[in-house]
A and B are shown apart, each in its own frame.
Chain A
Amino acid sequence: MNLQDYSVSRSSKAARVAALLAAIGLLVLIAAPWWAGRADMRLMGELFLYLSLATLWNLMAGYAGLVSVGQQAYVGFGGYMLFALTMLGGLHPLAAIAAAGVLGALISIPVAVLIFRLRGAYFAIGTWVIAEVFRLSFAQISALGGGSGSSLPVAIVKSLASGRAMREALSYWLALAAAVLVVTAVYLFLRSRQGLALTAIRDNELAAGSLGIDIWRTKFIVYVVTSAFTAMIGALIFLQKLRISPDAAFSVNDWTAFVIFIVVIGGIGTIEGPIIGTLVFFALRETLADLGTTYLIVLGVVAIVVMLKAPKGIWGVIRSRYDLQLFPLGYRVKHIGQSKEN
């Protein structure tokens, strides 16, 4: 039992296998325009965008303790920035998406300074007020169609790619790239020094503060970065939809309720959770969507039951049973003498 017999490592066999499978899966998904139908590609594109939103919401709620029910503020803001910058500013759509991210970060700074004054659950409703302010403000801008909204002009859509097949493939790739970028960024962020601080805050805010972590600043950074990414995802969503209106852009059901259900069902506070949650959510939607409002009631009931009976979600149940971690964040102690992994 010498100390030299043990080594500390982040990686595990399961994580290496998962990484390999993910790489193969990614190649297959990149090739989708050559094997999938148009409807399937649309559905998968939507799935990737929801996965991105869920991963971002999970970073805020599951790690930074910032439970927001107003993320539609940034989805809608990003969407409107895409329309405004291309229609009124003459920017290329891809440049507009990047600019939407920068503007989203900029506008989130004064918002954060203001609503960080509210704590816990009141913070949640405060974010909703902000989303309402955004919705009512954009409804006042007549150049963007006011309350009834506007469509993206054909010339701008064509500037992306001239053929329809190419356009659809490009829009699919953008969604896939966004999902990969967001999941990777969140993963790397959580492994960094800042991420360690964030995990410490999640586990015990008081203890983290007494160790010298600047809690306000860490949460502030998370909020601003999440807002920037959410705005970019919003721009991508409305690039797919080609039409925007205040009610669709700032819908609390579409951009927050569904996202919360995805994260809660999949497993809050884990990277794997939102991925599983998104797959479950789309499976439920494709099988139950014909039921209309009943489907939403079922979703609400499932989320409540999961929250009460298995608060760590589906991934939490799997992880506690099999001790798996596909995106390794923590460190494990291994015994080298017998070269057994646990």
Chain B
Amino acid sequence: MEWLNAIVQGTLLGGLYALFAAGLSLIFGVMRLVNIAHGDLIVLAAYLGLTVTTATGMHPMAALVIVVPTMALIGYALQRGLLNQTLGDDILPPLLVTFGLSVIIQNGLLEVYTADPQTLNAGALETASVAVGGVAIGILPLLTFAIAIAVIWGLQWTFYHTALGRAFRAVSDNQDIAQLMGLNRRHIFGLAMALALGVTAIAGILLGIRTSFDPSIGGGRLIFGFEAVIIGGLGNLWGTLVGGVILGVAQTIGAKIDPGWQLLAGHIAFLVILAVRPNGLFPRISG
């Protein structure tokens, strides 16, 4: 029963990792950009949530109404103002610019909020649980998993059933021809980053309710999101959810064996899958 419990908790944790990964996967799919600052942007969203909740007394989940549009705006501005200038055939500029951005965000947060660990206070939501067949399932992890499914479904729907999604797919396939057909790729990239950081905002708030956070944890979140993307296969959002679940289950089972093994077990699961299936489990596009 304890093992079943670990698997269930790990699966639900996977929902959070899928949310970390969804934004990363979306940006890579549309513009082949890997954002090293992604983890720090998740932490930035958590801190924005902290500021909103302490200033207005709102519930963290209600604060999403403010934090999601704010992060989306930041995303659009960041893409148009900075990241569009780095795109091209050379992988070095985007990589090094987002790496610099990561250091800037991390130290900016340190300056404003200090290094003290913080949490978002969600009241009864944090501890509420339901018992299903002898396993106690927390409402918050359940809600996180449901949100992850909803977000991924929403992204899939946007991609394949809206004009915006068509534009995303067009610039992804061939930027120059999309430009000739009257799409402004700079604007489309801005919208993609806005959407990605909107998802990141949700991930950041849920992270902040679930655990304590401080400015230094961004790198770790980037790695979890990245592992979920690679395990699931590039360009496949549902695969990313599966990747998140595999990572989450590996971590909870590792923690069950020895608390020091939690993170290591997740990384080892990733490396094993990389060794056996280099393109991930369900790849759609090649790197």
| A114 CB contacts on chain B under 8 angstroms | 271, 274-275
Q: Nearest chain A CB to B36's CB is how many angstroms away?
A: 7
- Please count the residue pairs between chain A and chain B whose beta carbons lie under 8 angstroms apart in the complex: 117
Q: Are A299 and B91 in contact (CB under 8 A)?
A: no
| B274 CB contacts on chain A under 8 angstroms | 114-115, 117-118, 126
Q: Nearest chain B CB to A288's CB is how many angstroms away?
A: 13
Q: Are B223 and A260 in contact (CB under 8 A)?
A: no
Bitwise interface map of B from 103 to 116 toward A, beta carbon under 8 Å scored 1, else 0: 11001101100000
List B90-149 residues whose CB lies under 8 Å from chain A.
91-97, 99-101, 103-104, 107-108, 110-111
Is A225's beta carbon under 8 Å from chain B?
Answer: no
| B267 CB contacts on chain A under 8 angstroms | 129, 132-133, 136
| B227 CB contacts on chain A under 8 angstroms | 129
Q: How distant is the Cα of A1 from the Cα of B274 in the complex, in angstroms?
A: 59
Bitwise interface map of A from 59 to 76 toward B, beta carbon under 8 Å scored 1, else 0: 001000101010000000
| B223 CB contacts on chain A under 8 angstroms | 125, 128-129, 132
Contact partner of A300 (CB less than 8 A), chosen from B95, B104, B271, is: B104
Identify the interface centre among B91, B92, B103, B222: most chain A CB within 10 Å of its CB.
B103
Q: Are B103 and A299 in contact (CB under 8 A)?
A: yes
Residue of B nearest to A116 (CB): B278
Is B226's beta carbon under 8 Å from chain A?
Answer: yes
Is A109's beta carbon under 8 Å from chain B?
Answer: no
Contact partner of B92 (CB less than 8 A), chosen from A67, A118, A257, is: A67
Bitwise interface map of B from 146 to 164 toward A, beta carbon under 8 Å scored 1, else 0: 0000000000000000000
| A268 CB contacts on chain B under 8 angstroms | 92
Q: With A128-B223, A304-B100 in contact, do A121 and B264 touch (Cβ < 8 Å)? A: no
Is B86's beta carbon under 8 Å from chain A?
Answer: yes
Give the dominant DSSP class at B's interface.
helix
Contact partner of B36 (CB less than 8 A), chosen from A124, A136, A140, A308, is: A124
Contact partner of A293 (CB less than 8 A), chosen from B33, B85, B93, B110, is: B110
Contact partner of B34 (CB less than 8 A), chosen from A125, A136, A301, A303, is: A125
Q: Nearest chain A CB to B263's CB is how many angstroms away?
A: 6
Is B230's beta carbon under 8 Å from chain A?
Answer: yes
Q: How distant is the Cα of A52 from the Cα of B204 in the complex, in angstroms?
A: 38
Contact partner of A125 (CB less than 8 A), chosen from B85, B93, B103, B226, is: B226
Which bracket fits the contact residues of A? 35 or more
List B230-284 residues whose CB lies under 8 Å from chain A.
230, 260-261, 263-264, 267-268, 270-271, 274-275, 278
| B103 CB contacts on chain A under 8 angstroms | 253, 257, 296-297, 299-300
Q: With A121-B91, A297-B107 in contact, do A308 and B219 touch (Cβ < 8 Å)? A: no
Is A328's beta carbon under 8 Å from chain B?
Answer: no
Q: How distant is the Cα of A72 from the Cα of B256 in the complex, in angstroms?
A: 29
Residue of B nearest to A133 (CB): B267
| A129 CB contacts on chain B under 8 angstroms | 223, 226-227, 267, 270-271
Q: Are A122 and B34 in contact (CB under 8 A)?
A: yes
Q: Nearest chain A CB to B166's CB is how many angstroms away?
A: 26
Identify the interface centre among B99, B111, B263: most chain A CB within 10 Å of its CB.
B99
Q: How distant is the Cα of A139 from the Cα of B100 in the complex, in angstroms?
A: 28
Is A201's beta carbon under 8 Å from chain B?
Answer: no
Bitwise interface map of A from 12 to 44 toward B, beta carbon under 8 Å scored 1, else 0: 000000000000000000000000000000000
| B177 CB contacts on chain A under 8 angstroms | none
Q: How distant is the Cα of A261 from the Cα of B33 in the complex, in angstroms?
A: 20
Q: How distant is the Cα of A137 from the Cα of B271 in the complex, in angstroms?
A: 14
Q: Are A260 and B96 in contact (CB under 8 A)?
A: yes
Q: Nearest chain A CB to B74's CB is how many angstroms away?
A: 16
Is A96's beta carbon under 8 Å from chain B?
Answer: no
Is A120's beta carbon under 8 Å from chain B?
Answer: yes
Contact partner of B108 (CB less than 8 A), chosen from A133, A252, A297, is: A297
Q: Are A252 and B95 in contact (CB under 8 A)?
A: no
Is A158's beta carbon under 8 Å from chain B?
Answer: no
| B62 CB contacts on chain A under 8 angstroms | none
| A303 CB contacts on chain B under 8 angstroms | 96, 100
Q: Are A69 and B99 in contact (CB under 8 A)?
A: yes
Contact partner of A139 (CB less than 8 A), chosen from B93, B99, B260, B287, is: B260
Is B82's beta carbon under 8 Å from chain A?
Answer: yes
Is A119's beta carbon under 8 Å from chain B?
Answer: yes
Q: With A300-B103, A303-B96 in contact, do A118 and B263 touch (Cβ < 8 Å)? A: no
Is A324's beta carbon under 8 Å from chain B?
Answer: no
Is A145's beta carbon under 8 Å from chain B?
Answer: no
Q: Nearest chain A CB to B1's CB is how many angstroms away?
A: 28
Q: Are A308 and B93 in contact (CB under 8 A)?
A: yes
Q: Are A133 and B34 in contact (CB under 8 A)?
A: no
Q: How distant is the Cα of A118 from the Cα of B108 in the complex, in angstroms?
A: 31
Q: How distant is the Cα of A307 from the Cα of B88 in the complex, in angstroms?
A: 13
Q: How distant is the Cα of A299 from the Cα of B85 in the complex, in angstroms?
A: 20
Having A122-B226, A125-B222, one finds 8 other A-B pairs with CB under 8 Å, namely A121-B95, A124-B34, A129-B227, A136-B263, A136-B267, A253-B103, A264-B96, A304-B100
Q: Which B residues form the contact surface with A (CB < 8 A)?
A: 33-34, 36, 82, 85-86, 91-97, 99-101, 103-104, 107-108, 110-111, 219-220, 222-223, 226-227, 230, 260-261, 263-264, 267-268, 270-271, 274-275, 278, 287
In the assembled complex, 6 residue pairs joining A and B whose CB atoms fall closer than 8 Å, in A order, are A117-B278, A128-B219, A132-B263, A297-B111, A304-B97, A307-B100
